[in-house]
Structure 1
Amino acid sequence: MLVCSCNYITEREIKDTIIQLLTEDCWQLIVPVKVYHAMEKRGRCCGCFPNVVDLIIKTTEEYHAQRHSTEADVIVYMSRLKQLHEENRRADIERRLTGHRAA
């Protein structure tokens, strides 16, 4: 099934890319931009992104069900996400402060 008509990307290509990303690091946060970047494509109209998100969720759930991921792995993953969020939040605050200085 064709998911992205702008780039002519099929559902199979997206799923294969997601599985490839999960094989590299099964607990990384995968978003549509990361999938497109891995395929060396870019979102043009981005109308397909909601469908890509659904494919990411479905494929990731299937991947972890096959691997029999444990609750401890999920907790470690969530702490990594929280740490990433805090790092990005600090960077946003620092950018705002330097951008709003009075000349």
Structure 2
Amino acid sequence: MLVCSCNYITDREIRDVINVLLDEDCWQLIVPAKVYHAMQKRGRCCGCFPNVVDLIIRTTEDYHAARHSTEADLIDYMSRLKQLHEENRRADIERRQKSNRAA
């Protein structure tokens, strides 16, 4: 399946690069920019990045499941991502503008 129409990158190519990166260091943080850099490409419109993030999550989970990593070692990426978004949203809500401050 074609994931990035700007660079003509398929999901298979992305999964292969993710697996190579995981073979180098199975606990590293992989982001779309790192995947594109490894392929010597760059995001043009970056509309494919959400799909690449989904591929990274699924491929990483499959990689660790195939390597029989213990449950204690596995990280639930989606729950951590939701927690990060919630913390950032709370910080935005609590932030006040200078015009609303007293004194």
| TM-score, structure 1 normalization | 0.69
Q: Which runs of 5+ in 2 are unaligned?
A: 76-103
Shift of 1:73: 3.8
Q: Which residue of 1 aligns with 2:98?
A: none
Q: Which residue of 1 aligns with 2:28?
A: 28
Higher helix share: 1
Q: Which residue of 2 aligns with 1:61?
A: 61
User: Pairwise mapping of residues 2-17 of structure 1 onto structure 2 (< 5 A)?
Assistant: 2-17=2-17
| TM-score, structure 2 normalization | 0.69
The number of residues matched between the two structures is 75
Give the Cα–Cα distance (whole angstroms) in 2 for the partners of residues 58 and 39 of structure 1. 19
Contact 2:3 2:9 in 1 (8 A): yes
Q: Secondary structure at the match of 2:7?
A: coil
Point out 4+ residue stretches in structure 1 off by more than 6 angstroms.
none
RMSD: 1.3
Q: Which residue of 2 aligns with 1:42?
A: 42
1:25-84 CA distance string (max 9 Å, x none): 000000000000000000000000000000000000000000011245458xxxxxxxxx
Task: Indicate the percent of aligned positions where both proteins have the same amino acid.
Answer: 84
Q: Which runs of 5+ in 1 are unaligned?
A: 76-103
Amino acid of the structure 1 residue aligned with 2:29: L
Amino acid of the structure 2 residue aligned with 1:61: E
Amino acid of the structure 2 residue aligned with 1:5: S
Give the Cα–Cα distance (whole angstroms) in 2 for the partners of residues 32 and 21 of structure 1. 12
Contact 2:3 2:51 in 1 (8 A): yes
- Structure number with larger C-alpha Rg: 2
